[in-house]
Amino acid sequence: MKVFQTSHSLVEYLSDEIRPFGMVPTMGTLHPGHLSLIERAVKENQTVLISIFINPTQFDNKMDLNSYPINIDEDLRIIKKISKNVLVYVPKVDDIYGRKVESKSFELGGLDEVMEGEKRPGHFQGVVTVIAHFLKTFYPDNAYFGEKDFQQLLIIDHITRSMKIKTRIIGCPIIRESNGLAMSSRNSLLNSNERKLASKLFETLQFAKSNAKKMTYRTLKNMVGGFFENHNELTLDYFRIADPKTLKEIHLERPVDQGHGFIAAYLGKIRLIDNLDMS
C-alpha cells in the first residue's frame, strides 16, 4: 500500500504499466459498503486507487461538514488488509482546490433539480467538481460508485459522457446491515436505538415495493407520509418513485409497476437516504 498526499506525487507514480487501473472515491470512515467497491475494483484491475477526501463544497451545511466522522488511521489499516497493491490518495483541501474552495459549474441535465439536489443546493456541483477533477487528473480506466447514492451515480455517469471522459463508471449494489439499514459513514453517529429506528427507511421502501401494484402512487405516497407522522423521532424529507434514468416522478394516479423508490429522512440532525428498485 502506498499513500500519497498530493496529486503531483501520485501522477508521477502512475504509468501505463499499472493498467487497468480502477479508482474508488470515498470520504473515509470505511465500512463494508465501501469495501464491496474496493474488493470489486481489486478483482477487476491491476492497480486500485482509493481516495479519502471529505469534500467541503458538497456540504450545504457547515454543521454537517464539521460533524462528519474522520478515521484515517483505521481506514488505512482496513485498506492494507484488503490488498497490498493499492494506492491511497489522502489530499488536503488545497491540493484539490488551491486557494479558492469553490465548486465549478457543470451542466447536469436537470438530474440535480430533484431530491438530493433540490434539498441540498449546490451539493452535486460540489461532488462533480471533485470527481471530474479526479477523472481528469488520474485517468482511471474504471471508477466505482455505490447505488446507495443512486442520484450521484447517475449524475457522475451523465457528466462523464458529456465531458467525453473515457473512464467506465461502474455502479455497485447497496450493502445493508442485517436489519436492512443501508450502511453509511454517518451511521457511526447513531446509537443502537437510533440504528433500529433508521431501518424504517428500508422498511418503508419494502412496504412500497410490495404494495406498489395494489394502489395508486398517490395513495401509497399518502400512506408513507402517514407512517412518518406516527414516528416522532424520524422526519420524512421526501419519498418519491421515479424513472431510474431521468429521475422524473411517476404518474400520481397510476399504480406503480415500474420505477425506483427514493427516501430521505432526518433522525435528529442526521440525514439518511436510501433507495430500492420497485419492479
Measured in degrees and rounded to the nearest 5, phi and psi for residue 230 equal -85, 0
Can you list the pairs that 94-98 forms with residues at least 24 positions away whose Cβ atoms lie under 8 Å? 95/5, 95/6, 95/7, 96/7, 96/53, 96/55, 96/130, 96/133, 97/57
DSSP 127-152: HHHHHHHHHHHH--SEEEEEGGGHHH
Binding of ligand AMP by 116 (CB under 6 A):
no
Q: Is 75 in the site for ligand AMP (CB under 6 A)?
A: no
Q: By CB under 6 A, which span of 33-41, 80-88, 203-211, 225-233 interacts with ligand AMP?
A: 33-41
**Alpha carbon 239 to chain centroid, angstroms:** 18
Please answer whether residues 198 and 267 qualify as being in contact, where contact means their C-beta atoms are separated by less than 8 angstroms: yes
Cβ proximity to ligand AMP: between 72 and 252 the closer is 72
Task: Based on the shown chain and the rule CB under 6 A, indicate whether residue 183 belongs to the binding site for ligand AMP.
Answer: yes
Q: Is 34 a catalytic residue?
A: yes
Residue from 8, 34, 123, 231 carrying the catalytic annotation: 34
Task: Tell whether residue 149 is a contact of ligand AMP (CB under 6 A).
Answer: yes
| Cβ atoms of residues 169 and 157 within 8 Å | yes
Interface with ligand AMP, residue 88, by CB under 6 A: no
Q: Which stretch binds ligand AMP (CB under 6 A): 63-71, 76-84, 170-178, 203-211?
A: 170-178
Q: How many helices (H) and strands (E) does the chain have?
A: 11, 9
Q: Write down the residue that cell numbers 442485517 correspond to.
A: 178
Stretch that binds ligand AMP, among 145-153, 218-226, 246-254, 255-263 (CB under 6 A): 145-153
Q: Does 103 bind ligand AMP (CB under 6 A)?
A: no
Footprint on this chain of ligand AMP (rule: CB under 6 A):
26-27, 33-34, 36-37, 145-146, 148-149, 172, 174-175, 182-185
Active-site residue set: 34
